[in-house]
Structure 1
Amino acid sequence: MDKYHQMKGFVSSALEYARHKTEKTFNTLQRYLQILGVTSDLSIFDPGSSIAAEFYVSLHELMAGLESRSGLMWSAISTLHHACRNPSARVALIHTYKYTPILTKLLGSHLIQEKRLRVLQLLQELTYGIRISWQEAHLPQLITTLTQWIEGNEKDVVGLALGVLVNLCYKNLPAVYTLMRSVDSKQFLRTILKLQGDNINTRVQVCKLLIILEHISGEIPDSEILNFVNMTYSTLGNAFKSIDVYHLKHVVDFFLDVQTNIHSRSVLLKYEKYVGDTSRLLELVNSSSEPECVSVLFEFLESLVMLQVPGLSSIYPDIVKEAMNWIPTNMACTKSLQLICTVAMETRKQACGSQEALWLRVLEQLDHGLSVSCRILE
């Protein structure tokens, strides 16, 4: 059977439903969505195929005309959430097909908590890395709703609403300006600071939002930046274990952004657990078979080396050893070579002082790794 059979059936049925909204066409669409929402073949959601493109357009048109109480709407939401498990599909859903306005309309309804959570979970997926060049029509309503829910103190809802708000505001000035017009900024900052006693995911989002709004909130306390580093390691570990390349990249990019601020950069150097936390990440790399995840983690490690984190040089040989193992792997070789070169250059600088022994240990790992790589390539 053609693997796109269900998608083709959905597209045809959606056209029929647009012409004749009968119980039969409704049930047919419902059945197709339910099957697509649990399919084990995620490749059907790859955005490069013409049938997948037709499917996303048809689904968008269908959802735009549905009420929040429609069972088809919630089947569509489940299918979209399932499609997001395909990384390429998620990127296309964020940047090409733009379902956020439809989901914003849903949030304006009086939803029970279970449905709020489902919409927010999907919105968090579909706003990760989003780019907003101007104030879009749905933005004020979405941000107003999110801030109201954040201030509403429903713990499960608060964490997800914060996550969506962070995604919207990250590198998106129109969203930041909209947020500042929607709230009393001082009161809102006091509210989110009180949320730091909640679970780790909420604390991560609070830290991110404080950093994004630093120009409004004033200089972030050192303790918040150090807390951010701790949670960065935790989030990287969780994303790496779940093979979530997209979230890994987002965390690393955010960490790199924080380094660009002179004050934040100086505070980052005060974190005391870099060596132990980085060693645990290296253990994950050692047991991994996912080159994309490893490549992103190598980018993070390179940023630490360039940051010249105190004490980290003691594990430079271990970093080089792990990086050397990935040189023969296409998807990780570029980042592994960059990491090795950066470590070698930083170690060579230190060797001019009192770290000659470290330089020799790094050279030893390079020599051994190159010998192994040459044998593999032969």
Structure 2
Amino acid sequence: MATLRNHTSTAGNGQDSPQAPQDAGATLAIGYVREFRARAAAFQVQRSEESLVYVQRSVALLGTKVAAQHFAPLPGNLELARFYVDLHALMGALENEGVEDDVLWACVALVQHCSRNLEARLAIVEKFCFVPLLGVLIRRTRRPERVHRLLVLLQDLTYGIHIAWEEPYLAALLEHLVEIVHGSVDGSSATIGGSSHHHNDDEDDSLTLLALSVLVNLCYKNFAVLFLFLRSVNISAFCRRIQNYGLLAYKMLILLSEDVYAFELRELYTFLRTAFAGIEDCLKHWNVAQMRHIVDFLLDSQCHAGLHRAMLSHSHYCEDVEKLLDQIDARCGMDDSQEETRKHHQICLDLVFRLVSYILQLSEDGSNAISLDALTPRLYEMVGDWLGSDLCGVAAIELLCTLLRLGKKTAVAQLIARDPSHVVSLVASSERPETRPAQVLAILRLLIALLQESKTEKLVLSKISESYFDKILAAPLALVPQFLSTQSLAAAEVEKACFCLLLLVNVAGIAKKAYLDKCCTLLEQPQLQYCLARGMVSRGEPLVAAVLQIAQFEHFPKAAVAKHVAGISGGPGTSTDCSGQAEQWRNLSSILKGHRTFTDKEMAQRVNALLDSIGGIVLRNELASAPVSQVIELYNHRIDSLNGAVLSLQQRLDQAGQHLANGTQLAHVQSAELQRFQATNFELLISQERLQTQCKDLKQQTEKLKSNMTNLLKQLSENSDHLQANERRLTVKKSEIASLQKECEALRTNLSAKCEELTKLEAHNKENTSRIDKLKKSMVAYEQDIKEKIRTIDERERELAKTQKALEEQRDARKKSEDLVSVLETQLQERKDQIEHLEMEQKETEDLRKTIMSLMESKKPKRKA
């Protein structure tokens, strides 16, 4: 199967911003733009080769020296508006041959360079109408590499294009794209430089894929284009041709509805897998336009019954989303230091968050196959890093709400309760007046969801106060109650106020003592009752549901809100064109069935063949009946005249389309001029008011100066009299001063003598002071020594007393010991006497024993020999 992703240029999102500061880069860009406009105007007048060379050089400088972000036509930027008009006029005036051909393709490269900026791309498509010009150019181009280049540019420019009616260029462009798909364009299949047949087949497939991608972009959500396409193509042959082209073929067939092609479920599963693969491919380069196209296609799946059934039963969401998260993690590690790249990064994350939220919401329809529970911690971690972002913060908060409501049971609530820093920062940001209403609205809906969880209920109650609600409701409360119907209040502020009141009602239901009075007081305000009435008559389902929940509050002012609802004539609709287009898409099958005669080109081909056959019969004079031949001749004449009329109408339509493009460009240039004029006029009015104020101040200062001058003249006359009296006094004072000077000289002489004496006394005093200091130091040292010696004597005396006491005790012990020794000696002598006595007795006993033994030996009988 052929490649399953929309082709796009590899440099489609590259940013070559200069290293110089932003202001210097913008000034340089304006200089190059002015130079190009001057060169282009000179070429339009002269049409010479020299002027063409200057134009080519200027175009090359714009494409290489000026970064893409400087081509965004901001409001009031007249230079850039005129630049796009001049570039469009130049490309329309250049021929596709010779030297002009090179300049033309340099201009194509410049348009591609400008389109890398999202705002510039939108202006190129919608404001300055470059797509019709490129459609004409691609029909004139024969070289395959240039056709490929134009198709890549058209693919990038037509992502998300809005076409409300059948513009003149569309019929020819659609026909040419269909011819490329069928491979029947002259020269599109010619080999280049003797290349192989296999290489040529690959090139044809590449052109076919790009042409099919442009067709998908033109037909998606543009029903005028889709009906024109259905009337101008053989649907059955076209469907057979594109069936092997993967994702693009599935997109095109889905757009053509199930009546044209009945999908099998396995094919839709393949489409979903390849769509996720296409999103993953877009994340590698932050390709915003193509990624938005794919994600919007999936978000609109409910409009196609078969695709919606496939999405409800698809079982690989967890795997597909995990691949997207892996790709985001891998891409976030790269260098995103440039402002434009960071912007693309956050928009892509916004699209991923919206897609994941939609997948989770599909599980509400009773689909058991959809579960992202395994990815809940990872999704929460990623979402937490982007909650405060300007571009993807709302989608991140909404995804967090969806995870909280439909994710793994209490898992997200536990994560938030464990680390509430994200919620705290969101509450703080919602209080700031500069925060966008959409961001505040998303935060309020998150707080309402957190309040319904037991694990995060206390967290919400602790982080908000009564003043929090006053800050959120500052805009509606600033309205004058008597003139509510004549004052303007943005729909976003109305929605924000309704959800703020819903949060307050929920908080009051939990903490009645603290918030019930506050809730009743705010609901009694006419401004907020008017907001509730506008929310009730709006077409936004979540907003109406929120107002109905508030209406369940016991103190809800039903009569006042009903009065405001009755006074609002036709509630302001909040539905967008996209919802209407989605409704058209849902009814596309019935529309096609009712207009089968307009969509069947096979019947038209059969009629044309029949007319050709009858014409041949007429030429051969094979008709037997003359009247019949005359009728046929008449019909042929009528057909030729109608063909001529159709051709002239087509030419007039092309001219009208060209005039419309010129008018559109001129309107946007004049809009930029008007904005600049209004800005200048406003500055002049401010300057006029400032000068008038200064003039009034100067008049007041002049009057003050006149009165001050009169007063000064009066004071001057009075001061002259005082001056004469003072002069007389001065003469007297001078004589007094002379005598005082003499006394002063004498006093100075006396003072010098006293000073010398004082110097001597001070020197003597200094010496005495030093001696006194030394003596004080010695005295302090002696006193310290005496204290130490006294302390030593005291210690020695205490030791001597202890020694004497011990000596007395030892003497007593010695006396007792001597007495004991004498007693012991007496006892020892007695023992010695006893021992001697006993020894004598022992000796006598021994002698007696020996005597007895000898006697016994003598009396013993002798043995016989």
- Pair in the same fold by TM > 0.5: yes
Residues 1:220 and 2:263 aligned together: yes
Partner of 1:233: 276
Q: 1:265 aligns with which of 283, 286, 308?
A: 308
Q: 2:361 aligns with which of 275, 284, 306?
A: 306
1:215-364 paired onto structure 2 within 5 Å: 215-286=258-329, 288=332, 290-308=345-363, 310-347=370-407, 358-364=408-414
Partner of 2:158: 127
Deviations 1:149-207 (A, max 9, x none): 101171121011011111111111121122222221111101111x33xxxxxx22111
5+ residue gaps, structure 2: 1-23, 184-200, 333-341, 364-368, 430-865
Distance 1:229 1:51 in 2: 45
Distance 1:336 1:315, change over 3 A: same
Amino acid corresponding to residue 210 of structure 1 in structure 2: L
Deviations 1:28-77 (A, max 9, x none): 11001112222352222111132211111000111111222222211110
Distance 1:17 1:117 in 2: 29
Distance 1:16 1:215 in 2: 55
Partner of 2:226: 176
Amino acid corresponding to residue 51 of structure 1 in structure 2: E
Partner of 1:350: none
Distance 1:84 1:207 in 2: 27
The answer to whether the 8 Å contact 2:131/2:154 transfers is: yes
Partner of 2:82: 54
Partner of 1:95: 126
Point out the more displaced range, 237-246 or 70-79.
237-246
Distance 1:375 1:43 in 2: 32
The answer to whether the 8 Å contact 1:328/1:373 transfers is: no
Distance 1:172 1:375 in 2: 42
Partner of 2:453: none
Following TM superposition, by how much is the alpha carbon of 1:311 offset from its aligned partner in structure 2, in angstroms?
A: 2.7
The answer to whether the 8 Å contact 1:298/1:335 transfers is: yes
Partner of 2:178: 147
Amino acid corresponding to residue 161 of structure 1 in structure 2: A
Deviations 1:67-117 (A, max 9, x none): 222222111101001111111111111111111221122222251101111
The answer to whether the 8 Å contact 1:321/1:366 transfers is: no
5+ residue gaps, structure 1: 197-202, 348-357
Partner of 1:5: 31
Distance 1:275 1:33, change over 3 A: same
Distance 1:368 1:162, change over 3 A: farther
The answer to whether the 8 Å contact 1:133/1:174 transfers is: yes
The answer to whether the 8 Å contact 2:71/2:117 transfers is: yes
Q: 1:66 aligns with which of 84, 94, 97?
A: 94
Partner of 2:464: none
Deviations 1:330-369 (A, max 9, x none): 322211110111121124xxxxxxxxxx323222222245
Distance 2:327 2:205 in 1: 31
Higher relative CO (CA 8 A, sep ≥ 6), structure 1 or 2? 2
Distance 2:141 2:405 in 1: 59
1:20-39 paired onto structure 2 within 5 Å: 20-39=46-65
Distance 1:330 1:142 in 2: 39
The answer to whether the 8 Å contact 1:327/1:337 transfers is: yes
The answer to whether the 8 Å contact 2:257/2:304 transfers is: no
Distance 2:141 2:72 in 1: 34
Distance 1:168 1:21 in 2: 36
Distance 1:46 1:108 in 2: 29
Aligned residues: 361
Point out the more displaced range, 159-168 or 216-225.
216-225
Amino acid corresponding to residue 227 of structure 2 in structure 1: Y
Following TM superposition, by how much is the alpha carbon of 1:216 offset from its aligned partner in structure 2, in angstroms?
A: 4.3
Residue 138 of structure 1 aligns to a residue whose secondary structure is helix
Distance 1:206 1:218, change over 3 A: closer
Distance 2:318 2:347 in 1: 23
Residue 410 of structure 2 aligns to a residue whose secondary structure is helix
Residue 409 of structure 2 aligns to a residue whose secondary structure is helix
Distance 2:159 2:359 in 1: 24
Q: 1:117 aligns with which of 131, 148, 155?
A: 148
Following TM superposition, by how much is the alpha carbon of 1:292 offset from its aligned partner in structure 2, in angstroms?
A: 2.3
The answer to whether the 8 Å contact 1:325/1:369 transfers is: no
Partner of 2:248: 205
Q: 1:165 aligns with which of 215, 226, 231?
A: 215
Larger radius of gyration between Structure 1 and Structure 2: 2
The answer to whether the 8 Å contact 1:140/1:178 transfers is: yes
Identity, in percent, stands at: 27
Distance 1:97 1:216 in 2: 37
Partner of 1:81: 112
Distance 1:56 1:270, change over 3 A: same
Deviations 1:227-255 (A, max 9, x none): 12111211111212211222222211111
Point out the more displaced range, 62-71 or 184-193.
62-71
Residue 214 of structure 1 aligns to a residue whose secondary structure is coil
Distance 1:55 1:216, change over 3 A: farther
Residue 217 of structure 1 aligns to a residue whose secondary structure is coil
Distance 2:260 2:230 in 1: 11
Distance 1:75 1:110, change over 3 A: closer
Distance 1:42 1:180 in 2: 37
The answer to whether the 8 Å contact 1:11/1:58 transfers is: yes
Amino acid corresponding to residue 101 of structure 1 in structure 2: P
The answer to whether the 8 Å contact 2:254/2:304 transfers is: no
Distance 2:276 2:287 in 1: 15
Distance 1:258 1:369, change over 3 A: farther
Distance 1:16 1:214, change over 3 A: same
Distance 1:216 1:115, change over 3 A: farther
Distance 1:333 1:60, change over 3 A: same
Point out the more displaced range, 358-367 or 161-170.
358-367
The answer to whether the 8 Å contact 1:149/1:158 transfers is: yes
Distance 1:205 1:329 in 2: 33
Distance 1:186 1:108, change over 3 A: same
CA RMSD, Structure 1 to Structure 2 (Å): 2.1
Amino acid corresponding to residue 147 of structure 2 in structure 1: R
Distance 1:185 1:372, change over 3 A: closer
Amino acid corresponding to residue 235 of structure 1 in structure 2: G
Distance 1:216 1:63, change over 3 A: farther
Point out the more displaced range, 149-158 or 285-294.
285-294
Residue 37 of structure 1 aligns to a residue whose secondary structure is helix
**Segments of 4+ in structure 1 off by > 4 A?**
375-378
Distance 1:39 1:210 in 2: 43
Partner of 1:351: none
Distance 2:309 2:247 in 1: 20
The answer to whether the 8 Å contact 2:253/2:261 transfers is: no
Residue 269 of structure 1 aligns to a residue whose secondary structure is helix
Point out the more displaced range, 4-13 or 178-187.
178-187
